[in-house]
Structure 1
């Protein structure tokens, strides 16, 4: 007779004990506006192209994929040439399973024990988790009251901490705030003075949604070999389910990421999906224009009702202030509208949806908040 062994403790790392996995609530609601998804599914033309290319890739799934995905990197360079007007070589591009994995590669390569990653809060809540998972020290400075970044504060903080990685989300999540290139340049100069070196990562996951006249940090790459600019196909391309993220940087920085990536980390199917979608970039970019307009109209509507709203260059809007933001969040959910309870205390974040979804949000908010 087998006797069950006594209960055995798992040797979980101390800093992981009691930690809940990251993720927004996945709740069933008629209007889901909480995770900044593109509300428009891929068109039938895009779906057909993806299906054809995936079928072709499937015929060779007994073989490992191109581990350096050179064709995809060429396509990404061609896309950014049009989208941001920046000339890049394929060797300056890197891709992975979502920009989350791109960020993890960066921390694996340039973080680690005895090193520090720095950002400025409020910002993306996954950053400290990347640091934790790579045994990198984590420090969050503060943004100003309008969610911008004071260049003098940034310069002084970098000089004091001597981090090896600085993470700047622009447009920032959860606030939507984009950083002026002058501020990014100050950070780059301060990072260049760190003994031993410091990589500056500008996270442009929402970069395609920036307002007219808001530049991309891609414009700074030529003069700054310690800069990396990350993007994703989850938002603008409506490919959240495909998990494709990428970055642009100097070839030497990209080569460092090749050292830490897992073998064949980007599947042949993922590469096929991404390349098929990139062929439809012009049509997708036209669609983004309507989302920008919907966002700007929503910002104006919220402000007209006396709410404080952060300027947004993203596909979401942070608004407040509420004495009981959870009560507002719950009231919206009770009416079928799921948004995100995130950001500084008193604030809520809503993703930009279709006109029908936005109308449902407005009606629910008026009813719940008495606007």
Structure 2
């Protein structure tokens, strides 16, 4: 046995993570560039202090107050009569997803997605000993519903994982696609990952609206993005109660600390303020899409707080040239594409200025539309 005695499936793998570099403009991890206000921060601090006085005791392992708060919020953003026993939370949507695959995946079971998709999904499958299958999206990053239905019926996966808006493309799924997948999956779960759901354009519905229609539908969210709470690590889901109860079997004891619960509850009390800059970020996103197209780039329509653009013969050279100019974006997605998070107006102006200089020597190779 080698040392250290790492599982064979992990040998040669590297930890997941975007580059963490100290540069003036950081637009690579899809964070909300507008942090909490001093008033919100004071409320969080007061809530954490109160929780700290009881840190000698274990926290509420069912986090009842937080589930009520999340339920109220979800019912205001697409949910239909959700109740607290239909809501679950964990340390970031990453842990939520891991718990889903621990409960419903495993040896002899399959998880399916359609690439390009979130790069962590195959790692969740690997870590839960679940077989991973990634089919392909169409050239415009949409799903061919007939092909998708046929594949789901053929494979009968235990879990279908699909972000909407999709990461890294930003494209959202129409309700008919969600319903089709739920119907084709039979008793398999369909997990719609709405980590960027609050950034969707007007008229784009949330899959939350369909939970009362499909018993196998799970919708996940996070407070990291729109709530500007990436440092708190709080993700959550909504599903039928029997699904939530099954996930409770695999959760670790007291997995949500009292401090995390207090922080999230304080953030929910300030939801209107914390979400107040979402509209500004949507406007900045849409103007970025149009500007990139004017530069001759192919750009995917985005319902998220990031934009995928390309294509470049040597995308790493473009990425490096931007980094040399003090602008960090993400080298991800299909070959030739890059992704930029939507930042403040000043940050996006710096990105546009830097990219204008870069594409003078590294012009895009296509102007194909992906609307």
TM-score range, shorter chain: over 0.9
- State the TM-score, normalizing by the size of structure 2: 0.96
Q: 1:64 Cα deviation (Å)?
A: 0.2
Q: 1:74 Cα deviation (Å)?
A: 0.3
- Matches for 1:1-371 after TM superposition, within 5 Å: 9-192=3-186, 197-370=187-360
C-alpha offsets along residues 13-55 of structure 1, whole Å, 9 cap, x if unaligned?
1010011000001111100000000001111111000000000
Q: 1:10 Cα deviation (Å)?
A: 2.0
Indicate the residue corresponding to 2:366 in structure 1: none
1 CA distance for matches of 2:204 and 2:231?
28
Write out the 4+ residue segments of structure 1 that deviate beyond 3 Å after TM superposition: none
2 CA distance for matches of 1:26 and 1:139?
30
Aligned 8 A contact 2:75 2:81 in 1: yes
1 CA distance for matches of 2:184 and 2:65?
36
2 CA distance for matches of 1:137 and 1:362?
42
Across the aligned residues of Structure 1 and Structure 2, the Cα RMSD in angstroms comes to: 1.0
C-alpha offsets along residues 251-291 of structure 1, whole Å, 9 cap, x if unaligned?
00000110000000000000000000001111222210100
Q: 1:234 Cα deviation (Å)?
A: 0.2
Q: 1:8 Cα deviation (Å)?
A: 6.6
2 CA distance for matches of 1:96 and 1:72?
11
1 CA distance for matches of 2:292 and 2:66?
41
1 CA distance for matches of 2:212 and 2:60?
28
Indicate the residue corresponding to 1:3 in structure 2: none
Q: Give the secondary-structure state (helix, strand or coil) at the position aligned to 1:274.
A: helix
Q: 1:85 Cα deviation (Å)?
A: 5.0
Q: 1:341 Cα deviation (Å)?
A: 0.3
C-alpha offsets along residues 228-258 of structure 1, whole Å, 9 cap, x if unaligned?
0000000000010000000000000000110
C-alpha offsets along residues 268-325 of structure 1, whole Å, 9 cap, x if unaligned?
0000000000011112222101000110011011111111000000000000011110
Aligned 8 A contact 2:93 2:221 in 1: yes
1 CA distance for matches of 2:3 and 2:66?
45
Relative distance call for 1:368 and 1:80 in structure 2 (3 A) is: same
2 CA distance for matches of 1:115 and 1:149?
23
Q: Give the secondary-structure state (helix, strand or coil) at the position aligned to 1:241.
A: helix
1 CA distance for matches of 2:174 and 2:39?
37
Q: How many residues align?
A: 361
- State the TM-score, normalizing by the size of structure 1: 0.96
2 CA distance for matches of 1:101 and 1:223?
26
2 CA distance for matches of 1:32 and 1:359?
13
Q: 1:86 Cα deviation (Å)?
A: 2.6
Q: Give the secondary-structure state (helix, strand or coil) at the position aligned to 1:167.
A: strand
2 CA distance for matches of 1:17 and 1:74?
43
Aligned 8 A contact 2:80 2:212 in 1: no
Tell me, which stretches of 5 or more residues in structure 1 are unaligned? 1-6
Tell me, which stretches of 5 or more residues in structure 2 are unaligned? 364-371
